[in-house]
Amino acid sequence: MSLWPVYTGTSEPHDGITALPPPPPWRAFDGGPELATPAEDGDTSATSPDRVHRARTYRATDQAVQLVNAALYLRRPLLVTGPPGSGKSSLAYAVARELRLGPVLRWNITSRTTLHDGLYQYDPLSRLYAAGQAVAREQLPADSELQDHLRLGPLGTALLPYGRPRALLIDEIDKSDLDLPNDLLNILEEGQYEIPELVRAARRTPSAEVMIDGTDNRVTVTRGRVRCRAFPFVVLTSNGEREFPPAFLRRCVRLELHQPRDAHLERIVHAHLGEPDAYARDLIARFLSRGTDGELATDQLLNAIYLTRAAGLDASSRDELAEQLMPYLSRNGEEPDGF
């Protein structure tokens, strides 16, 4: 059993986040007014059955428990590196569920992603159209409400002044443009940002009610400035496909995950599919043996065990199907090429 009072890795929800000590003096934030953490069922996309299942069945290693707590105590992002299928993104959902941090805010990164995408989206064309419609109807002022055409992104929402941390998953940061990690530095260091469109409008309208990521709920932003109160639990995942700048790395707690082995792998199978039978144990042994020659992912094994149970096949057909479901993702440093 974990000796940490906050994240224990047991997957049982609790309020251990209230036992988190004050932050280091250099990581204290004072945004306000304080917002309540949204209920888990307030965002149906974040509570879809597959994500709930992943959060409930995730089995953290002792090292993962240690470093998650380090990130929470230090109010630092957690950079999680590992091969596909090692549970990098599932970790964020597991921590959010156990510590009751509300729906996970997810920001999927591509080569075209910019910092602006994560903070907020503003649609000036829809605002212009709404203003034109209002003038035509002679019902509303020509200056359509700016706040109706602006929505906070996952990063922008995570940095609102919530009383307890929100969980933010920045998935596949290594797929980003070279500049994005550096662009994130100031935001994650300062825990705050500005929305220039609202700053410019602040003389006329000091406060704006803007929509937040994933819902149609609104929060008040005063004078276009947002500052966090509880620094979010930020998980950045990477497949290890690139190096990051030292300035970025020193601001992160770093966790490297590996494909689970032996008893840990069996615990994962048990959590997802129940007690392994004799054939499942044989597949686990074959999966571990094959893994020495190339890269495999845990979900390939889970798929094979589930389907060979459900299909009602004879022994030779089950073996053939299992083989087809567990091709190497890569072998001897080469690109994936089938079996």
For 108, the 3-state DSSP assignment is strand
- Three-state secondary structure call for residue 16: helix
Which structure tokens are listed for 143? 């200056």
Domain locations along the chain: 16-256, 262-331
On whether the CB atoms of residues 170 and 119 are closer than 8 A, the answer is no
pLDDT tens digits, one per residue of 156-185 = 999 999 999 999 999 999 999 989 999 999
Alpha helices in the chain (DSSP H): 49-57, 62-74, 88-99, 115-119, 124-137, 154-158, 180-190, 196-201, 246-249, 262-273, 278-290, 298-310, 315-325
pLDDT 10s digits, 267-293: 999 999 999 999 999 999 999 988 888
| Amino acid residing at 279 | Y
Dist. CA 204–CA 141, nearest whole Å: 14
> 16-256: CATH homologous superfamily?
P-loop containing nucleotide triphosphate hydrolases (3.40.50.300)
| pLDDT for the residue 52 | 83
Residue 128, pLDDT above cutoff 70: no
pTM: 0.86
How many angstroms separate the CA atoms of 160 and 327, rounded? 44
